[in-house]
Amino acid sequence: MDASSAEKRGRVGQWPDGAAYVDGNYMPVGDARIPITDWGYRRSDVTYDVVGVWDGAFFRLDDHLARFRRSMTRLRMQPRESDADIRAMLHEIVRLSGLRRAYVAMDCMRARPPRGAPYNPVHARAYIVAFAVPWVWLFSEELQARGIHAMVANTPRIPPESVDPTVKNFHWGDLTRALFEAADAGADTALLLDADGFLTEGPGFNVFIVRDGAVISPDRGALEGITRKSVFDLCDEFGLRHEIRPVPLAELREADEILLATTAGGVMPVTRLDGRIFGNDRPGPVSARLRERFWARRAEGWHATPVDYT
């Protein structure tokens, strides 16, 4: 079924466990499949994006679609769907799920060259898959209220000369190793440095430090996060200075506060880093203020695109 074929639409909420779209067809998320010979699977030749639905509305949908398209272009992927097609398809999978709070992922993956063509990616088509499932928290609400316990990983971030971190990708080997390090150390998550000892990001989130009243995020090795952009918007609202610049390890350790940001959690304060406890082992004032305001603005309809459930 084509994304624009309204006459073939199913009923609202018919797949409450989640709905998927695979290369032109809609189905329950549990039935979604991709060919195991495709390079999206065999070579991680994929880019993706994730947008949240909260109380029946997408958050910053235009920003996510624009980043998704930039990533596809950077990887020389040209699926048949236009941005308008992808937008309509995302509305449709949420409508088919009936979910009011959903984690919505969109992937563009490369197939493989057709039989007889040179075994080169220039001959392999790209196609879209997507799914909407019940909302996913990267960290539970209880952990967020307590504050995240993080550690600095020994595993370095993959260098941007090898994998462009501004293109959302499946190359999670370094992030996965860092998460095992965190588990072994009794921490909730890990922060990764680059080969030169500068802060980059963590598994699935951007990182900020608060220093002398300024909110600072690394300029290297990290995704240009949509929630990071929202944090800077809130800083402007509060009159807080914010910067994107190099953050050496020493400055990370000396920070007044640390916070994380991601679609699957919003603004998330850190209260411990390795052996250091920040403040009174509770979220710091700037982190707590940003987190509270983020969700308050979301409740007000900030950057909201209501889902078409009709």
Residue 103 pLDDT > 80: yes
> Is residue 200 a contact partner of residue 221, using CB atoms and an 8 Å limit?
yes
Residue 148 pLDDT > 70: yes
- If we measure between CA atoms, which residue out of 61, 74, 56 comes closest to residue 310? 56
173 three-state secondary structure: helix
CA quadruple 241, 243, 248, 253: dihedral sign: positive
> What pLDDT, on the 0 to 100 scale, is given for residue 4?
45
pTM for the complete prediction? 0.94
> What pLDDT, on the 0 to 100 scale, is given for residue 262?
98
Mean pLDDT value of segment 52-68: 98
- If we measure between CA atoms, which residue out of 276, 247, 272, 263 comes closest to residue 63? 263
- Phi, psi values for residue 8, rounded to 5°: -100, 10
Indicate the pairing of strand 25-28 with strand 148-152: unpaired
155-187 pLDDT, tens digit each: 999 999 999 999 999 999 999 999 999 999 999
> What pLDDT, on the 0 to 100 scale, is given for residue 8?
65
CA–CA distance, 175 with 245 (Å, rounded to integer): 22
- If we measure between CA atoms, which residue out of 296, 287, 165, 139 comes closest to residue 222? 165
CA–CA distance, 29 with 171 (Å, rounded to integer): 23
Indicate the pairing of strand 242-244 with strand 214-217: parallel
CA–CA distance, 95 with 19 (Å, rounded to integer): 9
Compute the chain's Rg from CA coordinates. 20
Read off the tokens for 308. Answer: 């078409």
> What pLDDT, on the 0 to 100 scale, is given for residue 6?
44
Alpha carbon 133 to chain centroid distance?
15
> What pLDDT, on the 0 to 100 scale, is given for residue 279?
87
Q: State how far the alpha carbon of 212 is from the alpha carbons of 89, 156, 244, 254, in Å.
A: 45, 28, 15, 11
> Is residue 129 a contact partner of residue 34, using CB atoms and an 8 Å limit?
yes
Q: Which amino acid is at 82?
A: S
Domains present along the chain, CATH in parentheses: 6-136 (3.30.470.10), 141-299 (3.20.10.10)
Read off the tokens for 6. Answer: 């309204």
CA–CA distance, 270 with 210 (Å, rounded to integer): 11
CA–CA distance, 204 with 228 (Å, rounded to integer): 12
> What pLDDT, on the 0 to 100 scale, is given for residue 289?
97
Residue 52 pairs with which residues in a beta bridge? 103
- If we measure between CA atoms, which residue out of 40, 27, 4 comes closest to residue 112? 40
105-145 pLDDT, tens digit each: 999 999 999 999 999 999 999 999 999 999 999 999 999 99
CA–CA distance, 45 with 75 (Å, rounded to integer): 9
Q: For residue 91, what is the enclosing H or E element? A: helix 83-97
Residue 1 pLDDT > 50: no
- Phi, psi values for residue 16, rounded to 5°: -65, -20
Greatest Cα-to-Cα distance within the chain, rounded to the nearest angstrom:
65
Q: State how far the alpha carbon of 25 is from the alpha carbons of 17, 41, 186, 297, in Å.
A: 17, 19, 43, 35
248-305 pLDDT, tens digit each: 999 999 999 999 999 999 999 999 999 899 989 999 999 999 999 999 999 999 999 9
CA–CA distance, 221 with 162 (Å, rounded to integer): 11
- If we measure between CA atoms, which residue out of 174, 234, 170 comes closest to residue 208? 234
